[in-house]
């Protein structure tokens, strides 16, 4: 009864999340706000493109085989498993044993890496005639906690282990990081604001895959197990871990993932991403669809199982994935090794789903095709299967996200210009290939349009609209002195963040009455009128300026979308599923804004002063690295010293951090930093000193 109550609550939540995702899509389609419409159209276009590219262009089996190992290496990279961690001693420890008629259960733990404890139950048949097949069962997100003590999600799925042992298999069921006896984190970006996971290239899918690899190391070395007959299965979260493991480890001879994977259309457009924690996804550096992962299992036996009313793994996406993968099995002439089972019901561990899995393993690991006569039944209370009496004080499970993926550094200051040039080349290539791979391959026409232009006594104000990346049309606001005089020569290009945009919008709508009806100005100025400064005070920042341009990238101003904090979280997660980040695509928008300003009037030859603050200032810094200039100065305020606290770009912390990007920019642009600690920027200062740059090339105020 308790399990049913928990299931009903989870099911209601999942359906609610799914319907909220569908509602968000409908609101985006019908919203008069152009940013909402553009965002919805963008996600649809990008999702469609990746779906079309998934497993496309493969000519024949030899072509696929030539690609397969490279794809596997790339998957390992996207899981944070390249380079592969060292296989340190497992230190398996048995803490208890339960003997039942026909089978026994060992309560044990091992260390997948030093002080990362994997708690597990090993189900052994009572009698065997030599080594038998081994099955690794990986668990979904079942919570089994009483009085603050977690018994691990392995206890929720113990009936599977019992069935396998009773039928001549050795079955190892392992706890996950989040729902194990030691409870770690799977929801870093989902609910903890740990966006640096993307910058680090970390996903809990990586540590779960690694724990599964090490579980195979333990399982295949048990004397009761035939290492040539190993399989993996699991449902929900365990379903997706079954995909990961089978895709990267050929020791798995048979796989049967249950309700563990669908496609990008379901996640991004239909909103199922909102029902999944981070462990369900790789860091999509190479912009894959999910069929690529499934195809890496071929030609080994793979049974895809799902129910027809699963709200977080919808049937249509499962069918699309199956149809893609079927083509690879056809190339191998192994159609019989790919199975599909669809049962009635919601997202639940049902007997209808279990029986086909048991038959699949019997067929492919034991060459048996008989009927399943006994069901899988629960026989233990969670307390009986607990491994630890007390949690080890030295455990790293709860902090594994801080160390699993190695971070670049410490960074050595270059000794000479040649060493520096080599390092810059490596960093720029890493940014292009691992962080900004989601940028368009080619720049489309800017399609610039003058929206309107008005004059005031001293200034003229123009609004330009341009295509950054279809369908996003972003806006560049340009203030020009009508009579600049000899002392007004500077041209400043500024990128707005939320705070800055509110001030600009309020001041401009007050000073240029004709502009009040621009919807984006009206919204921003009304939202933050009390924080706006008087026009005269505000313009002191531009005392020497002949012209000031302000860019609002996607997510702000005209191209901004209406979303509460929770919706903003899942919008950002959708970008990651597409192999991008919102911050990274805003860098692209800034590049396009710089290109657009060059085409207005006589600004093409001007040496621009670049200005930004906070996270958006870092985005401006990276944009300057990829644009030729000329740039007179880069003036940045309140800049975070690390991507741990700043904008997220995929994998960037695996290669460099903000001070290293700052040093690269400082080589050709004078930089002023304001309102920041000096400590993070010592690398820049020492690099400037070693390479003999001018004293004013890099300054911290």
Average pLDDT over all residues of the chain: 92
Residues 212-268: pLDDT tens digits? Answer: 999 999 999 999 999 999 999 999 999 999 999 999 999 999 999 999 999 999 999
Return the CATH superfamily for domain 34-402: Alpha/Beta hydrolase fold, catalytic domain (3.40.50.1820)
The token pair at 70 is 């490279």
CA distance 385 to 158: 9
Exposed, middle or buried by CB within 10 Å (0-12, 13-18, 19+), for 252? buried
Residues 75, 290: contact at Cβ < 8 Å? no
The CATH number of 422-700 is 3.40.50.1820
Cβ within 8 Å of residue 432, ≥6 positions away: none
Distance CA 310, CA 140 (A): 15
Q: Are 465 and 449 in contact (CB under 8 A)?
A: yes
Per mean pLDDT, which range of 19-28, 36-45, 104-113, 117-126 is the poorest?
19-28
Q: Give the residue range(s) of CATH 3.40.50.1820 domains in the chain.
A: 34-402, 422-700
The pTM of this model reads 0.93
3-state secondary structure (DSSP) of residue 62: helix
Q: How confident is the model at residue 204 (pLDDT cuts 50, 70, 90)?
A: very high
CA distances (Å), 646 to each of 261, 583, 694, in order? 32, 10, 28
DSSP class of residue 410?
P
C-alpha separations of 448 from 44, 399, 454, 508, 517 in Å: 24, 49, 18, 22, 21
Lowest-pLDDT range of 84-98, 443-457, 521-535:
521-535
> pLDDT per residue over 505-550, tens digit each?
877 777 776 665 677 877 665 555 454 454 556 667 777 889 999 9
**Mean pLDDT in residue range 52-73:** 97
Report phi then psi at 264, rounded to 5. -65, -35
Q: Which two tokens stand for residue 270?
A: 């239909």
- Measured between alpha carbons, how far is 139 from 506 in angstroms, rounded to an integer? 53
State phi, psi for 25 to the nearest 5 degrees: -60, -45
Whether residue 471 has a cis bond before it, omega within 30° of 0: yes
Give, as one character, the DSSP assignment of residue 650.
T
423-439 pLDDT, tens digit each:
999 999 999 999 999 99
**Per-residue model confidence as pLDDT tens digits over 374-397:** 999 999 999 999 999 999 999 999
Question: What pLDDT shows up at residue 524?
Answer: 63
Task: Kindly give the pairing relationship between strand 116-125 and strand 670-674.
Answer: unpaired
């Amino acid at each position: 009864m308790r399990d049913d109550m928990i299931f009903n609550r989870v099911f209601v939540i999942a359906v609610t999340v799914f319907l909220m995702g569908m509602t968000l899509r409908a609101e985006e389609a019908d919203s008069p706000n152009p940013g909402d419409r553009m965002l919805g159209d963008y996600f649809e276009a990008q999702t469609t493109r990746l779906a079309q590219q998934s497993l496309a262009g493969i000519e024949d089996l030899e072509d696929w085989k030539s690609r397969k190992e490279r794809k596997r290496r790339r998957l390992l990279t996207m899981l944070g498993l390249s380079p592969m961690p060292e296989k340190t001693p497992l230190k398996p420890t048995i803490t208890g044993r339960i003997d039942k008629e026909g089978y026994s259960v060992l309560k044990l733990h091992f260390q997948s890496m030093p002080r990362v404890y994997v708690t597990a139950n090993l189900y052994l048949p009572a009698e065997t005639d030599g080594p038998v097949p081994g099955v690794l069962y990986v668990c979904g997100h079942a919570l089994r906690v009483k009085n603050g003590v977690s018994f691990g999600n392995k206890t929720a799925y113990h009936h599977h282990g019992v069935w396998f042992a009773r039928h001549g298999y050795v079955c190892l069921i392992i706890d996950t990081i989040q729902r194990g006896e030691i409870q770690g984190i799977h929801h870093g970006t989902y609910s903890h604001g740990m966006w640096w996971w993307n910058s680090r290239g970390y996903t809990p899918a990586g540590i779960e895959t690694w724990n599964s690899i090490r579980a195979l190391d333990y399982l295949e070395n048990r004397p009761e197990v035939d290492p040539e007959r190993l399989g993996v299965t699991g449902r929900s979260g365990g379903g997706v871990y079954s995909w990961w493991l089978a895709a990267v480890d050929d020791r798995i001879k048979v796989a049967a993932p249950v309700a563990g994977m669908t496609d990008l259309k379901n996640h991004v457009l239909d909103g199922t991403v909102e029902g999944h924690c981070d462990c369900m996804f790789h860091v999509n550096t190479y912009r894959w669809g999910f069929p690529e992962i499934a195809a890496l299992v071929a030609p080994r036996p793979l049974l895809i199982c799902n129910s027809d009313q699963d709200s977080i793994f919808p049937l249509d996406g499962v069918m699309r994935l199956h149809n893609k993968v079927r083509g690879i099995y056809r190339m191998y002439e192994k159609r019989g090794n790919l199975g599909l089972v669809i049962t009635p019901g919601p997202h639940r561990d049902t007997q209808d789903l279990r029986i086909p899995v048991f038959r699949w393993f019997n067929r492919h690991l034991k060459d048996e095709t008989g009927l399943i006569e006994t069901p899988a039944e629960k026989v233990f209370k969670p307390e009986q299967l607990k491994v630890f009496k007390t949690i080890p004080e030295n455990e790293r499970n709860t902090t594994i996200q801080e160390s699993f993926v190695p971070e670049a550094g410490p960074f050595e200051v270059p000794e000479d210009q040649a060493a520096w040039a080599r390092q810059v080349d490596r960093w720029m290539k890493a940014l292009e290939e691992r962080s900004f791979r989601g940028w368009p391959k080619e720049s489309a026409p800017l399609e610039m349009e003058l929206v309107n232009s008005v004059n005031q006594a001293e200034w003229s104000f123009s609004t330009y609209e341009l295509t950054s990346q279809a369908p996003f049309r972003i806006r560049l606001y340009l203030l020009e002195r009508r009579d600049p005089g000899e002392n007004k020569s500077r041209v400043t290009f500024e990128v707005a963040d939320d705070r800055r945009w509110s001030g600009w919008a309020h001041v401009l709508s007050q000073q240029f009455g004709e502009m009040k009806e621009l919807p984006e100005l009206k919204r921003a100025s009304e939202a933050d009128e009390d924080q706006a400064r008087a026009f005269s005070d505000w313009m002191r920042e531009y005392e020497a300026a002949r012209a000031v341009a302000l860019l609002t990238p996607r997510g702000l101003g005209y191209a901004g979308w209406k979303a509460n904090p929770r919706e903003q979280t899942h919008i950002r997660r959708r970008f990651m599923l597409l192999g991008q980040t919102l911050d990274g695509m805003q860098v692209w928008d800034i590049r396009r804004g710089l290109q657009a300003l060059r085409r207005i009037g006589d600004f093409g030859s001007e040496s621009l002063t670049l200005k930004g603050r906070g996270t958006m200032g870092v985005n401006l810094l990276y944009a300057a690295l990829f644009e030729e200039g000329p740039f007179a100065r880069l003036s940045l305020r309140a800049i975070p010293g690390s991507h741990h606290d700043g904008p997220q770009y995929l994998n960037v912390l695996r290669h460099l951090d903000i001070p290293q990007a700052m040093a690269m920019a400082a080589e050709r642009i004078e930089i002023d930093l304001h309102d920041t600690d000096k400590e993070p920027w010592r690398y820049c200062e020492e690099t400037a000193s070693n390479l003999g740059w001018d004293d004013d090339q890099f300054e911290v105020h």
